[in-house]
Chain A
Amino acid sequence: MNKDMKRLCIFTAVLLAVALAGVSLWHLLTPGTPTPSDLYHRYEHQAGVRVGYIEDYRFDDSTFVDVVTVEALDSAGWHWMEQEFALHEHANPEAPAAGSGPESVTLWQCDDGQNIAFCSWADSALCLVQPRSEREFEHIIIYHLQKIRQ
């Protein structure tokens, strides 16, 4: 009986080790969605921009999400942002004069499928967030709506 138990334990341990190794390998080989922290470290030393990272930023009483902000400090920084975030792709081509005032915000889903970019053209700034649910996403949008309304 003890021998059987020992075998079962060894078998279970080997099974767990193989599963763990498989998961680790999968994580290593599959490029995952960059977290806000990853994005911050990617851009923190970029010249011409100010990059910020706020952990658990409070959008409202029930929405706390990590945020990365990228703000152009000069025209070179803005040019880099235009290239890095393909800003021209997201500026409304149908309304050249619109969407650039202080009472506007543009948002889109980044290529990674998870991060959402909010661009304030008037402030030359981007805010990158990764909402965990649609409810959170909508609350973050409402936060931005209240900002442009002020």
Chain B
Amino acid sequence: MKHTSTIALAALACLLTTACGPLKYSAQSTTDPKNPNSGVSIQLPGTAGDGAQHTFVSQHPEGNIKYVVDGQQYIGEVTTEEDIATLYLKILGFAKLGHNVSVTARDDNPKGTKTDTHTFTSESEVEVASWAARMVRKGYSVTIEYDKSKHTYTCTAYKKK
């Protein structure tokens, strides 16, 4: 059922893509550089303020749908079948507005790849640096955050299993 609905929606999207004529609008597509976790925001010219801004969370490359709007590739995060349906409906909305859209890939793991995560908290910069260096050498990506109220560094190391 899951695959059937996905394939059907993908086919519909591709059909609309093919059916799309020349661009009627030029979409301004932006990912907020100040916040990579904010996802992809697509603002259609002339529709500002009328709620026509579409935002897709695009943090995880895994378990997601990749799609292209006017030549720009995006990744839509999906974790449930409803997410998939909602995302495809939005993509179809772009197609209806005359944008050139296509779905380029569908990951078969909608819940995403599991990650191996470790955390470490310390006030000591030397300890944090030593821990982070060791984890990076083991192939982890390490994010270090500083808590100003507690004066501690919290490190999270993660890598895909």
Residues of A that sit less than 8 Å from B by CB: 72, 74-75, 77-79, 82, 87-101, 103-109, 116, 121-122, 124, 134, 137-139, 141-142, 144-146, 148-149
Contact = CB atoms under 8 A, between A and B. Distances in A.
Interface in B38-89: 57-62, 72, 75
Contacts of B141: 89-90, 92, 106-108
A99 B139 CA distance: 18
B145 A101 contact: yes
Interface in B11-58: 29-37, 57-58
A148 B147 CA distance: 10
15 contacts: A78-B36, A79-B72, A88-B36, A88-B61, A89-B141, A89-B160, A94-B117, A96-B59, A99-B143, A99-B156, A105-B143, A106-B142, A121-B37, A138-B126, A148-B146
B35 A82 contact: no
Interface residues of B, number: 43
A129 to B, nearest CB: 12
Nearest to A90: B141
Contacts of A107: 132, 136, 141-142, 144
A91 B132 contact: no
Interface of B: 29-37, 57-62, 72, 75, 112, 115, 117, 125-126, 128-130, 132-133, 136-137, 139-148, 153, 156, 158, 160
Contacts of A139: 129
Contact of B145 (A99, A124, A137, A138): A99
A138 B129 contact: yes
Given A82-B36, A109-B137, A104 B146 contact: yes
A142 B126 CA distance: 7
Contacts of B115: 93-94
Given A93-B115, A94-B158, A145 B145 contact: no
A109 B136 contact: yes
